[in-house]
Amino acid sequence: MIKAGIVGGTGYTGVELLRLLALHSEVELVAITSRGEAGTAVADMFPSLRGFVDLKFSDPKDAPLQDCDIVFFATPNGIAMQQAVGLLEAGVKIIDLAADFRIKDVALWEKWYGMSHASPMLIDEAVYGLPEVNREQIRRARLVANPGCYPTATQLGFLPLVETCCIDLDHLIADAKSGVSGAGRKAETHILFSEASDNFKAYGVSGHRHLPEIRQGLANAAGKDASEIGLTFVPHLTPMVRGIHATLYARITREEDFQAIFEQRYAAEPFVDVLPPKSHPETRSVRAANTCRIALHRPQGGDVLVVLSVIDNLVKGAAGQAVQNMNLMFDLDECSGLLLVPVLP
């Protein structure tokens, strides 16, 4: 059995990890940390886990993390980078669900995240955990940077077009919407029910932290420098709990059978579903599942291709993708613990 620990188990990604790992046939949960909730039974905070998780939250300084085979960091940005070196030296593998190791340019990371990086020596080693791109590197990794939710939906939607060089890389547009859970489990005015319900708004238009991450991934796929990717990324907050819907626009530079390109690119991918032409994927079609559904449109037969990409931000956009990465790192069936039927309604 794989002994797993979770640092920061009280947020939405933390409880989603608990939900998925509790039923994973190859995993034993041995530690779940929370400074504020140390000593509290997990099932008391999350009654949905009653009968599935019998652990108590422990203070990070007392948790047996170095006895784990793998530790998941479901923490705010800046935490994993402070503890990674010690855990790696103890032979523990790490999956960071925050952004500490996603961006390869340390100066760029520090600019966007507003802090000095505590472990810059680990940046080159860290593997970006998008299995549809880096599957073999993830298998050999001991440190995986789990992608962000917006970057997952956006990259999976653009990748087949970028890889085949049939679109204009100078004028890409990602118009993306997220449910309120993407803001985390905390009390802030803009995500209160009376503020977010019956409302819809853009945010981070002048610059969002996921922009350099998306641009880096698309540049790697195109074999170019990130500065050569012209991407406009605008996120929006929607009055729903879960889900991301990314509407992606790309100008066609070479005629291809675009539907075939997507179907062939993702034919062997267990968690990417390319829908028939003219489909309209819905966020509720992937709720609580580790699935990305994609559909293509070409409005009025013009020169702009529209890609619709939907995921559950807490599963394929966070905890589910982390479990997918763990399966690869320990040479398990990639789908172990993740063959989940989406929840409806």
Give the residue numbers annotated as catalytic, written as ranges. 149
What the block records as the tokens of 300 is 């009025």
Contacts of 118 (CB under 8 A, 6+ apart): 78, 81, 82
Instruction: State the Cα–Cα distance between residues 39 and 156, nearest whole angstrom.
Output: 40
CA separation (Å) from 177 to 21, 148, 150, 236?
Answer: 28, 14, 9, 4
Give me the amino acid identity at 249: Y
Interior CA angle at 250 toward 246 and 253, to 5°? 160
Residue with token string 């479901």: 74
**Chain center to CA of 63:** 26
Between strands 201-202 and 127-128, the pairing is: unpaired
Closest CA to 273 of 150, 153, 174: 153
Q: Are 253 and 168 in contact (CB under 8 A)?
A: yes
Q: What are phi and psi of 158, to 5 degrees?
A: -90, -25
From first CA to last CA, the distance across the chain in angstroms is 35
